[in-house]
Structure 1
Amino acid sequence: MTYKGLQSDEIMQLDSSPLHAADITPDLKKQFAFLSGGRGDNGSPIIVFPEFPAFGEITDREFHNVLTYLTSVPSLSSTGVGFILVIDRRQDKWAAVKGTLLRIAGSFPGNLQLVLVLRPTTLLQRALSDILFKFNRDEFKMKVPVIMLSSITELHSYIDRSQLTQELGGTQEYCHEKWISHRTAIEGFALMVKKTAQTLQSFGTELAETELPNEIQATTVLLSTHTNKKDKMKEDLLVALGQGSRLLESINEPVVRDPDHNMNQDELENLATVQRLLSQLDETERAFDEFWVRHQTKLEQCLQLRHFEHQLQRDFSEHDPPFVNLETDCGVSAAGEGSEVLDRTLALSREGDELIQNSHYAEDSIQPKCSELRTISENVSSSLRAKKDHLLKAMELHQHLERASKWVDEGIYLLASQPVDKCQSHEGAELALQELERYLDNAGQSQLTDLSAIWTEYEAVLNQQIFQKQTSMQEMFDKRRVSLKKLAAKQTRPVQPVAPRPEAFIKSPLSSPGQSLLSHTWTIYFTLCRGKGQLQNGDSRHASLSEEEENLAVLRRHVMNELLETERAYVEELLCVLQGYASEMDNPAMSHLIPAPLQNKKEVLFGNMPEIYHFHKRTFLTELEQYTDCPELVGRCFLERMTDLQIYEKYCHNKPRSESLWRQCSDCTFFQECQKKLEHKLGLDSYLLKPVQRITKYQLLLKEMLKYSKGCEGANDLQEALTSILGILKAVNDSMHLIAITGYEGNLSELGKLLMQGSFSVWTEHKKGHAKVKDLARFKPMQRHLFLHEKALLFCKRREENGEGYEKAPSYSFKQSLNMSAVGITENAKGDNKKFEIWCNSREEVYIVQAPTTEVKTTWVNEIRKVLTTQLEACRETAEASYIPFLFPCSPFKTGQKSFKKGEEKKAEPCSPDVNSSSSPKPTGKGECNPSVNFSANKSAFSISSACTVQITLLASPLLMINPRLPSLLIFSLGTCLTCTLPSFPPCVCPVFLFFLWVR
C-alpha cells in the first residue's frame, strides 16, 4: 500500500518553515509589521510598517522573527519577485525613519523590490528628512530604490488603492486578529494532515508485513485488533477532515456574507492551501480504504480456512471414521453416527467448494481436502446402504418380538386383575382358571413357536435372553393354573380378608423386616427434627469481639457506606431522568421537538421507572439508612422488601420495547436539547440502563457483606437475601426467553414456575404397541430449547432474529410439551456422559437429551429429580393421611438397617447399581396420589423403572390389605424377577410376583 505525499510547494513550505504563527503569536500581535494581502503591479507582496511609536523598543529577535515569518508566508513564486515595503512614519520624526531603514537594511531576510517611506508631515521634520536623507543615503546601503513620499496621494501612484488598507487610503479590508487566527489554523491543519498520512503509511506497512496465524483464536484476535486500529485511523481521518472543512468555511465566510466581496491574494492562497490539504486527505483515505478491503478479505479468508481445517482435523484425523463398523453393528445408533458423518462430510465439502469459488488465496491447499472429503462421503453412503438392509431384517424381528411382548403384557394384566379374595372360593377359582385357559388357547401366532427358525434367520441380532421373557410368562401361567386347580378342587369356608390397623402394624414386635424398617425410619426422622430445633435455639454469640472481629466490623461498615452512597446516587439519577426527560415530554414548549414515533410513548420508553423511583426514594433508601450502625443485619431489609424488588422484572420485560424506540429516535432534537439542559455527558440510553445495573449491583454488595459477616447474627438473613436476589435475576433472565415463545396455545402461567431453560440436542425413540422401535427417519439430533416448569417440560425450536440489541434476541417456536406428572428420567445414557433420557408412558416415548457440558446435564438432572421427588412426597403425604405405611427405597439386593439408612439418605436417588439409573415421577393425575388404586385401574404403573423403587410402595399399598409382608418380599425379590432380564425392554416391576408370592 502506498500513499501520495504532500507534493505542493506551498504545502511543503508550511511544514518546512522554521517558524510557525503559534510560536511567535505575541510578537505578531504587536503589529509593527504585517502582510496586508496586497500586491504590487508585478505581483510583489506588500509588507506594511504602520505607525508604531514603540518601534525602537522592539528587540532584534522579535524584529527578525516577525520579518522572517512574514517573508515565508507568500508562495515561492511571489517571494521570488521581491517584497514592497510601505513604511508609515507620518506622525514620527526623522530619527524613527532612519532607525527603521537601518534595521531593514541590516536584517531583512527576503528579496526587496521597492521601499516606500511616508515621511513625517510636520514642516520641520519634512525639511529635515529631505536634507538628512540625501546625506545619509549611502549609509543605508540599500540595493533597491528608497522613495520618500510626502502624502498618501503619492503612494497611490506606486500602488493601486485596492491593494492598500484603509489606513493608507486604500479600500482593502484587513483584520490582524483574523489573519493570525487563519495562519495558526492553517499551519495546525497542515501538520495534522502530515501526521495522519504518516500514521496511515506506517499502519499500512504493518498490515502488509503481518504474518497470517495458524490458529483460529490467534486469527480472530488479529482480525479484531487490526479492525480496532483501522477504526481509530478512520476516526483520526474524520477529525482532520472536519477541522479542514470548518477552516474552509471560516476563510469563505466573507464571501458567504457578501457575494460581492473580493478576496485579497493572501486569502486566495490560504483558500487554495486548505483545499489542497483536503484533497490530499481524500486521496489518502481512498487509498487506505482500498488496501483495508484487501487486507480484511485476506484475514477473513484466513479465518475461514482455519475453521475449515480445524473441523476437518477434529472429525476425520483424530480417530478412524465411525462408518467402518456400520455393516456389523446392531441397532440404529451406528447408522445414526454414519449419517452424522455423511452430513458433516458433505457440509465440509460444500464449505470448501464455496471457499474456492470465492477466490480464496489458499485454493491449492483446499482443493485436495475437498477431494478427500468427497471420497469419504462416497464410502459412508455405501456403508449406509448396507446398513439399511441390515436394519430391515432387524425391523422384521422387532415385529415378531412386538407380538410376543404384547401377549406377555396382556397376560401380566390378566393375572394382576384377578381379585385374590374371590379366588378363595371354589366358584371364583373355577372362573379364574377358565379365564386363563381361554387366554392360552387364543395365543395363536403371538408366541414365538418356531424358535430355531427365528434364531437361524436373525442370528446376527439375537441373544438367548430374547426368549426368556416369554418363557418366564409361560411358567407363571403354569404355576397359577396349578394353584387355581388346587383351590377349585377343595371346599374351604369363606374367609373375610381384613386389613391390619396401621398403628398396630407399626408398633407390633412381630412385624416383618419391612415393618421394623419403617418404624426405625420414622424414629430417625423425628430425632433429626428435634436436633435441628435445638441447634436453631442455641446461643451462637459471644460477649466480646476479638481483634479480627473488629476488623470485619470495619469492612462491613465500608460495604454499608458504599451501599448507601450508591443508593442515594441512584435515586438522584432516576429523579434527574424523570424530570429532565419524562416530564419534558409533557411540556408544551418542547412538543414541537418530539418526533412522531415518540408521541404518547412515554410509558414505553421509561417503563415503570417512576414506580421504581418512588419505591427507592420513599421506602427502600429510608429503611437501608436504619441499618447504618448494624450493617450485618441489612439482609432483613432486603428480605422484607423482596416482593417490592420484583418490580424490576416488569422494567426488564419492557426494556426491549424501550430500546427499540430509543434507536428510532435517538438522534432527534428533543433528546439533544434535554441532554444539553441537564449537562449530561452520556445520552438517555445510558440512564435507562441504570435500573438493570442496580438490581445486579445488589447481589455483589450482599456477597461482600456476607463475606465479612460469617458467624454474625444476620448471616442467615444475608444468605437468604442473596439467594432471593439471584432468584429475581434468574427469573428475569428466564422470563426474557419465556416471552419469546410462539405457537403455544395454552396459558404458560398455568404450567407453574419456570425452573430451568437451555438449548440441547434431542433424539427421539417411540414404542409401537409394547415393543420399542427407534425412529429411523431421523439420525441427526434435533436442536431444541427446553423450558422446565413445575408441571410441564416444553420443547421449542430456537430461531435467530435479525436486528440490533434486543431486536436480535432469538424467538422460540413451540413444538411439544410433556406433563411432569407422567415422565421419568434416566440419568446416564449409554455412549455419552453428557446425555440423559426423559421418558413417559412406560418408555413408549423416550427423549435422549444431550447437554453442552456435563455440568449443565447434572444441574438439569438434579432439578428434574427435585420436581419428581416433590410429586412423590405429595403422594406419600396423601398415603400417610389415609393411614397407609410408606416404604422408603432400598436396594433390592440388601436388607437390614444399614441398607435402609442408605436409602433414606439418597431419598429419590436411584437405588439400582446399574449406571443407567433413572427416576420415576408420581402416578399420572393432577398431582394427587390415590392410595387405594388397584392393578386394573392403572396399567401403565406396571412398567415403572426398577431404579425408582420409591413407587413400588404405591403399587404395593393395596396389597397390604391382603398380606402385610408382600411389599418387603416384592422389594427383596426384584433381583430375581425373570421379566426384567430382557435388554430390549426397560427393567420393570412385575406385579405378577405379588400374586405369585401370595400363592406360594
Structure 2
Amino acid sequence: MSSSHEQKPSINSVLDLLAQQFIVISGGKTKEGYSIITFPDTANFVDLTDDGYEKLVSYITSVPSLQEADLGFVIIIDRRNDKWSSVRCVLLRLAEFFPGLIHIVYVLRPNGFLQKAISEVSNKFFKEEFKFKVLVCTVVEELHDYVDATELTIELGGTLPYFHQHWIQQRMALENYSNETNSVSSMLNEFTERLANDSVDLPNTKEQSADLLCRHAVEYNKLKKCFAEAVKKGETLLCDFKQDTDTYHGTIPSTVTNVTALERLLVQMEETEKVFDDFWEQFSGRLKQCHSLRAFEESFNIVQCSLNEHLQIISEMTDVGDSVERVKTLLDELAAFQKSCEEKIKLSEDLLYSGGQLLTSKRFIVLESIQPKCDEVQRLTQTLNDRLEKRLQTLNKSCELQARIQKASEWCAKGVMLLGSEPADKCISAEQSLTELEEFMSSAHHLKVESPREFYSLFEDTITPETKPIVTQVLQRLDDVTTMCDKRLASLKRLINKPRPILSVNPEPAIPIHLANNITKISNGVDECDLAIQNDENIVTKTKHVLTELLYTERQYTAELGSILRGYKDQMEFSDMKNLIPSGLKGKNEVLFGNLESIHSFHNQFFLPALESSSSIESVAVCFTENREKLLQLYTYYCVNLTRSEELREAVGEDNLFFKACQEKIGHRLPLGAYLLLPMQRITKYQLLLKELLHNEKNQNCVTKLQKALDCMLLVLNNVNDNMHQIGITGFHGDWNDLGGLLLQGSFSVWVENKKDLLKELRLKPMRRQIFLYQQGLLLCKKVSKDNKPMYHYKKYLRMCNIGLTETVKGDLCKFEVWLEGRQEVYTIQASNLQQKQQWVSEIKRVLLEQLAELKGEKIKQYISTFGKHVNLRQTNSIDGQNETGSNRNRRPLSHHETTDDDSSDYSLTDDESLDGTIKHKADSYISLADYNALRPTDATLKRGDKVDLLKAGSSSWWYVKVHGSKTEGWVPAAHLEISGRKSSHSSQSVCSHGSASTE
C-alpha cells in the first residue's frame, strides 16, 4: 500500500466517491458480529480508478470501531443487472487491496441469459482463484439463508433502514467535530509541554512564582472554556443524531455507528480533560508550594535577623543595679523589652506553623530545606526565652539582695544607736536595757543571714565585682554589731543576776496515746476465664479465604505467564523488533524460556480449569495428587534450565534494547529476570496453601486427601531442589543414566581410611564433601565456588554393589561408615544431626537390601520390616526451605534441619575446608522495586520500597543484603533492586505486578 493511503482519508477527499455509492456500509452485521460492506448494483464501478478505490475502501473500513474492524468484514457484491466481468473486476480489486479481514464474499450473480450460461464456469474459477471464500447466490432469497434479512437494506430484499445522503451528512458533521476536538487537544498538548518546560527551574522569589502562576492560570481558564464549548457542541451533535433516529421511528444501524463514534469522542474528551486537570493540579500545586516556600524563606530571614538582634540586646543587659530603686527600674525596662520579644516570638511560632504545614502537605517540590530552618528558629526562640527567664531571675535576686543589704544596714544602725546609750547603773534600768537588747537581737531573724557562706551561696549569681565589697562590708558590720550585742547581753545578765530559790515542780502524768491498727483486708478473687475456642463458622470462613486465594493467584499466575510469552517470546519470533535482538540471543528461545510455554499450556488448559470446576476440598486435593507427575516433570526441567537462562541473560545483558522495548511495551515494572522466577515461587506457594487448608480442616476424609496432596507437593519441591544441586557437578565423565535416580544429597564431614595409606594416622582433619546418593552409587564431590556460584567438583564414585554399611560408630551418634570389600577403604561420614544420619542410613540400607533381593531373585520385605518403619526418603526442605509440621510425620519428607547447609550452599562456604571464604562487597544502598517472598531459608523477604544495604554480591542475579531498620539479612534477586536515589522509570506505575510478579 502506498504511503498516501497509510492514514485514514478524510470524508472530503472521498465525498464525490461516496455520493456515487460505489461501496456502502449500512451498519448491518452478520450473526457472528461481522460488519457488512455492500457493493451496490451500479454499472459505473468500472469507472472507479484504483486510487479512488483504495481511498474509498480505506474510508469505509474505518467507519466501524477498532474492535469491530478487528473482527473482520463480510462483503456482498450485487451484480444482478451486470456481467460476470464486473464481478471479476470487484473480486480482483478486493484481492489486490482490502485493509481488513474478509471472512466471506457473497455474490448475487448476473441474471442475464448469457450470464447464466457461464455461471458454472465462472463460479468454479472464482473459488479457485481467490484466497477468501466466495459464495455465489442465484437469488436474493438464497442470500437470506446466510445473512438475516433484518441486517440487509431494501435493495437486497431486507428491512434495514439506510439513507445514504443522511449518513454522509452525519459523517461530515462527525468528522468536523473530530477535527475540532483534535485542535483542542493540540492546544492542550502545546500548553502542557510549555508548562512542563517552565517548571524545570523554580522561581527564586515569591513575587515571581505568584506572577507565573497568575499568567498560566489565565491561559488555563481560557483552555477550559474552549474545552467546555467543544464538549457542549459534541453533546448537541449527539442529541441531533439521536433525534434523527427518533424521526425515522426506529433504530438506524448506520446512525447508531455514528452515535457510538461520537460518544467515543466525548469519552476521550472527558479523559483528556481529566488528564489536563491532573496536570494543572500538579503544576499549580508546584507553583503554589514554591510560592509558600519562598514566603517561608523570606519570613525566616526576617525572623532570624530579628531574633539575633534581640539576643544581642539581652546579652548586653548586664547591669544588676546597686539599690532597690535601680533594680526596679531595670525590671521595668526588662518588662518592656520582654513585650517586644513576645511579638517576635509570635512571628517565629507562626513561621514554625507554616513550615510544619508545608512539611505535612502533599509534596510537589523538594522541601528538605524547611526542617533545618524550623530547627534554627526553634533554637533561637528557645535561647531568647531562656535568656529572658534568666535575666528576670537575676534581677529578682538582685532586688532581694539590695533589700537585704538595706535592711541589714538599718538594723546595724539601730544596734549601734542602742549600744551607744548610757550604761545601766541601776538594776531597774539594767533589766530594761536587757529586755530592749534581747528584743533587738530577736529582730535579726528577718535578715535571714545565718552565716556569710550561706549568704554568698544564695546570691552567688547576683553578686557582681561592683557589689561584692558592699556585701562584704555589710556582713562584716553585722558580725561586729552582733558580737557587741552579745557582750552587752552578758554584761547586763551578770549585773542583774541574783540567786533565786529553786521551785519544786511536779511533772504531770503523761497522757497515753492509743493508735488504731484495725486494717480491713479485702480479697478480690479474680475469675479466670478460658479463651473461647474458634467456632466452626470461623474455620469455614478461613477455608473459603484460602480457596479464594488459591483460585485468584492461579488465574493471576497463568495470566502472567501468558504475558511473558506474548511480550517476549512471541516478539522474538514474529515481531518487527527482531533487529533489536542481541546476536547472542538469536535462536536461543528454548534456553531463555525453557519449557515455560508448556507450563503455561498445562495450567491454562488443564490445572486451572480443574481447580475452577472443583466443588469441594477433596476435589481440590485430588487436582494436586493426580497431576503430581506432570508438575514434577514440568517444574524440574524448568528450574534446572533456569541457571542456563540466567547465564544467557547475563551474557546479553538485562538492559539490552530488546528486553527494554518488550518490558515497556507490555508495561512490566520489573525486568524479565524477575518474572522468570514466577514458576519457582508458584510451585512453592502450593504447599503453603495446602498446609493452611489442612490446618483448618476437621473432616478426617478431607484431612487424609489434603495430607496426600501436601506430600505430593513436597515431593515435587524436593526433587526440584535436589536436581538443582545436581546440575552443579563438574568433572564426572561417567554415564549419568548408569547412576539411576537421585535419592538424596547433602553436605557431610568425611574421613577416609585406606589400608595402603601409610599416612592415615596423620589425617585427623575431616574433608567437607557434598554426597549424592543415587540408586546405583554414591558420588562424593568437593564444593567449590565459581563466579560466586556453588559448584561440586567430582572426587569419588562408589558403586552400591561394592560397598558395605556400618550404621553406628563408637563415640559419635551422628557418624556412620561405608566401606569397600574387606574394608580396604573406609569412609567415615559425619552428619550434621542425628535425624539426617538416620535418614541416610535407612535409605542406603533400603537400596542395598533391594539389590540383594534382585540378586537372590526373591522378596525380602519381611527382612526389611525387622529394621522398623523408616522415614520417607525425601527431604521436605525445598526451594522455600520451610519447616514441615502436621500429622503423619513418619510418612513425610526429610525436615528442614537436614538440608539447611545444602539449601544455603548457594551462598555459604566457598571451599570445603574453609569456614569463611565469602567475598565482601562495598555496602551500597538500594531500594526494592517490588515485593519478594523468600524462596529459601537464606533468602530475605522484601516489601516494595524497603531500603537495603548490599553486603555481598553473588552472581549478577543474586545479592546478599541487609534490610534497613531490622536485623533481616539474606539473598534476593538483583533484578528486584535499584540504587537508592535513582528515579525509576517504573515508579509511577501502579501496580500491581511483583505486585504482579509476587503476588503469590
TM range (shorter): 0.3 to 0.5
**Taking structure 2 as the reference length, what is the TM-score of the superposition?**
0.34
**Taking structure 1 as the reference length, what is the TM-score of the superposition?**
0.34
